[in-house]
Structure 1
């Protein structure tokens, strides 16, 4: 059931805040998959606990993996993967793309389904790829959820070609399970460029940290068969979820620090340092974390966001408040995310009096004075975050169903309010 509307706080003065963030969803769900396939017990340190990661943990438990709470951590003990079971992936791209290759290693039928919108998200390429690698999947020839993975306890593996232009998760899901395939896997991409390359780099990096041999080349990834080493995974703060907090410094001409920002990382959110600086922020890294200071004014952004598409909703909100037009490109794939994010952003910005329009592969936004109104969120966590940014400068914005932000950042509205009025 949708939650009551949220009146976004208006900032009447520059913000001065330090905002600790919970762990990365992307790292948490990758760590859970690798732990489930490991050769011994694994500790996941300070994982994110959100709808997406709790769905992953519950799905793995249903398959026979022990995921146990241990204060702030999770202890994961691999088990024999068996069916028949039913798995709910919600609206989580990482769960719907990472779990089926693991389910193919189980012995028994694994029925996989999710939210209504999940049935519209791109799944055909990974279903076809798994079949080519030897898995048996009954999807009623739809190429989408719901479907049944008829596991036989093993996947032969081998070579496969896939069009992953809809989501890098289509490749990451295959890579994460590939060491447990009998022959490993060689995965080739053919089609328009794969979006979110940093997320693929994260997958490869974490596989290698688990002792898996991975070779990469232009649009090709080779994973050797072998064990996945049990180890401790320390989860970094979720840098993509920093976008709206750091952006608040720009909007209000204030200061926001996110502690624990890693010196080096494969998280796409690290690009915020350059993107916000291009809009006029003062950005500095130090022992306290990453600090962004606003100067009182900021300009629009002309940027290709192909590798960091998840930042688009917040950057789009900033663009609507900026001092000059913005052009955000390379993000046609966002039409297949939790919602059609391009259409949603245009509809909601324009409903508040803004001037946004869709391009073939992105958005063009021209700043105009905005007014109060309802901001619809389309069951998309990042639309809540975008609305919060607009509300800093525009009194009277009401956010429909703010609880949907719990997909990746439970407690967001409390964090946001505390940042503005500590």
Structure 2
């Protein structure tokens, strides 16, 4: 039985909305991880009061009227979600993060903010570091962006949009938006806060101006973090149950149910949660992971251990995640003996004998998930920098060790 910490995606959306709501809110069972603490720190720097001392975090909005410096770390949600909020400040707010974050895309959000009257200083880079020079209010209105690199571009503008004078009307123009379930999550959370959102047209999301109601919220378990634990069942033929799996959710990790079924696992709901029992032989798959790209490292690791060939596609956008995940998976799985072909938008993986060696994580928590999955089935695999899992799962290493050993 596995009990997972809360969802980072839900927690950081809840924190942003609580910081600009019409009263205090409580974020219950908040995930305490690097990404969520960076978000809490950023919102506190702006002027909100975020009390993270307990299991339940209390957030009180405050006046955004002081200069601030925001550390984004490696958190894409902080880098993208906080600038549209910082635009409501009457002061100057600067943003920077870990070195790799300076290569992650943010330019479309900055261009959109400029188009609705926000002053942005980035020396034309469209990347970290940059500064938002707030005027105390934002006009809002219609923006046209290319969100094909990240669904977070859309979510970032929607989250703050109700506080803009004209609301926000976001229109996407470009290749398909990846990770649409994450936008669905944003829309659902906004509506729970009483915000009017029109998503009736494809590639258009409109948020009406108005108050954001304070809401006390319980954070669901992070379903994407279930992947390595459910993979144990898939590889061993044993059974793993993840407690408190929600019956309905907008989390992309819920797709693990159908993906593991396609690979031959028995997937059932029980009174306790989601139960997965592995097959005698793990089947290869042909999957379009465009909407659930964050699951790619764990699924690729399983594919490298399957009995048949696999093809994972539709995931060109994950080259811009914490690392170029397509290239990193090809390199690390290939170094351990897997037969991997890298494509512009995915990977082809054929069965091949694997051997021990170092699996590098590139400071990417999802790459660490892939490494421990391989290590569970192949002797002599050493996962480098397992501590990077602290981004979304505190004490992952200890939790994983106890689970594998049955302690």
Same fold (TM over 0.5): yes
Structure 1 position 288 matched with structure 2 position 272 = yes
Q: What is aligned with 1:354? A: 338
- Unmatched 5+ residue regions in structure 1? 1-17
Instruction: Write out aligned runs for 1:101-250 (5 A).
Output: 101-216=84-199, 217-250=201-234
Offset at 1:296? 2.6
Distance 2:79 2:302 in 1: 31
Q: What is aligned with 1:276? A: 260
- Dislocated runs of 4+, deviation >4 Å: none
Distance 1:304 1:149 in 2: 37
C-alpha RMSD over aligned residues = 0.7
Provide, for residues 213-252 of structure 1, a one-character-per-residue CA deviation record: whole Å limited to 9, x for no partner.
0001110011000000001111000001101111110111
Offset at 1:358? 1.1
- Unmatched 5+ residue regions in structure 2? none
Q: Secondary structure at the match of 2:221?
A: coil
Structure 1 position 375 matched with structure 2 position 323 = no
Q: What is aligned with 2:10? A: 27
Distance 1:265 1:207 in 2: 15
Equivalent in 380, 390, 409 of residue 393 of structure 2: 409
Q: Is the 8 A contact 1:89 1:112 kept in 2?
A: yes
Q: What is aligned with 2:383? A: 399
Offset at 1:180? 0.3
Q: Secondary structure at the match of 1:261?
A: coil
Distance 2:211 2:252 in 1: 28
Q: Secondary structure at the match of 2:205?
A: strand
Q: Secondary structure at the match of 1:180?
A: coil
Offset at 1:287? 1.1
Q: What is aligned with 1:4? A: none
Q: Could you state the TM-score of these two structures normalised by the residue count of structure 2?
A: 0.99
Q: What is aligned with 1:321? A: 305
Q: Is the 8 A contact 1:252 1:392 kept in 2?
A: no
Q: What is aligned with 1:258? A: 242
Q: Could you state the TM-score of these two structures normalised by the residue count of structure 1?
A: 0.95
Q: Is the 8 A contact 1:320 1:365 kept in 2?
A: yes
Offset at 1:402? 1.1
Which segment is superposed worse, 402-411 or 62-71? 62-71
Q: Secondary structure at the match of 1:44?
A: strand
Q: Secondary structure at the match of 2:52?
A: strand
Distance 2:384 2:390 in 1: 14
Distance 1:145 1:323 in 2: 44
Q: Secondary structure at the match of 2:84?
A: helix
Matched residue pairs, number? 405
Provide, for residues 129-154 of structure 1, a one-character-per-residue CA deviation record: whole Å limited to 9, x for no partner.
01111111000000101000001111
